[in-house]
Amino acid sequence: MPTDSSFDLAVVGAGIIGLSCALAAARLGKRVVVIDRDAQANGASVRNFGFITVSGQERGAMWRRAMRSRDVWAEVAADASIPIHHQGLLLMARRPESVAVMDAFLQTEMGEGCRLLDADELRRDHAALTAPDALAALWSPHELRVESREAIPALAAWLTARHGVTFLRETAVLGVETSKVVTTQGVVEAEAVAVCPGDDLFSLFPDRIADYGVTRCKLQMLRLADPGFKLPAGVMSDLGLARYAGYAALPEAEALRTRLKAEQPDHLANGVHLIVVQSADGSLVVGDSHHYATTPDPFAHEAVDQLILDEFEAALGFAPPPVLERWTGTYASAADRTVVIDTPAPGVRLVMVTTGAGASTGFAIGEDVVADLFGETNR
């Protein structure tokens, strides 16, 4: 426990949402402490793609938050020496119905800066990625890719070095009240508290969390060996057009869903869609699947991994390289909302991203929460 245990903001949870709240407050000159029960980041914030996804996020506030978060990531990465491994998104289309969704997306405000590459352009500019039945690809310039397992610790270290944020690791929070956080290391006093529990549904404010219908989503992911060439961007398949709300809510997506149900029912039943990103060593991070339960089983199922790898081959046009790693992750999920921002007590905010987009939207959410708590903004 620090000698002075009084702060402007106490943040419970050192995942990306907690770090985002800490950054937003620190940029306002606030004294910030972040409290976490683990010695280092170990949850959803490091078990993901590190892909800051903008195109495809739900239209409106979610998409705007992704655009803002992408800009903050670019600022922070430059200052904190966090490598950006590649930029942009290529979303591959193998069906005419997919091309129709892409055309409709480009007519919305979300399509600004994006464009459609036809089959000839794909074969000319991205021959290594062109499956035989590829019809087109949506190109988005907005996305960034970091290595999450390195970026999150680097972000925390930078918050201390650059902004003086205090971290209390290996410290469990037993209770939160207005201006007070009770921990296993003593009481921390703070003007405001942001509780960012990730997918912990029961330790703090379980009744409030239950009111929002929050459960957990389990995903499976893999790391594949270097394919021998550099990806031009992150890659998705047209399964993503039926999953990401920015596409899936468009009327044109209904015909695509009907075709996918007929052609790939097992992929849909297991919540499989494809994202492929590349690391500095050339290896590929590939996923993922989605299964929902209050307590998901901890096991990775080979049949689900095979569905992901089958989609990889269909979308990219070559057999997957050897698998180097496999892992599962869990995150908080709610059927009818993307974010929970609740006020369980005066000066206290409960903050949960409930759609698996913490890295993509967290910095903007942190700014919104801190502006609400202190009546100030750094934008």
pLDDT in tens, the chain (379 residues): 554 568 999 999 999 999 999 999 999 999 999 999 998 888 888 889 999 999 999 999 999 999 999 999 999 999 999 999 999 999 999 999 999 999 999 999 999 999 999 999 998 998 888 788 999 999 999 999 999 999 999 999 999 999 999 999 999 999 999 999 999 999 999 999 999 999 999 999 999 999 999 999 999 999 999 999 999 999 999 999 999 999 999 999 999 999 999 999 999 999 999 999 999 999 999 999 999 999 999 999 999 999 999 999 999 999 999 999 999 999 999 988 999 999 999 999 999 999 999 999 999 999 999 999 999 777 6
What does the DSSP assignment read for 334-353? -TT-SEEEEEEETTEEEEEE
User: In this predicted structure, what is the pLDDT of residue 91?
Assistant: 97
Collapsing DSSP states into helix, strand and coil, what is residue 193? strand
User: In this predicted structure, what is the pLDDT of residue 22?
Assistant: 98
Where exactly does CATH 3.50.50.60 map onto the chain? Answer: 6-45+149-212+337-374
User: In this predicted structure, what is the pLDDT of residue 128?
Assistant: 85
User: In this predicted structure, what is the pLDDT of residue 2?
Assistant: 55
Where exactly does CATH 3.30.9.10 map onto the chain? Answer: 87-143+215-333
**Terminal C-alpha separation, the chain:** 32
User: In this predicted structure, what is the pLDDT of residue 4?
Assistant: 58
CATH code of domain 87-143+215-333: 3.30.9.10
User: In this predicted structure, what is the pLDDT of residue 131?
Assistant: 85
Question: Rounded to whole angstroms, how far apart are CA atoms 327 and 350?
Answer: 28
Question: Rounded to whole angstroms, how far apart are CA atoms 312 and 161?
Answer: 41
How would you classify the pairing of strands 275-278 and 234-236? antiparallel
Residue whose C-alpha is closest to residue 379's, from 164, 69, 145: 69
CATH code of domain 6-45+149-212+337-374: 3.50.50.60
pTM confidence score: 0.95
Six-digit token string for 195: 């509780």
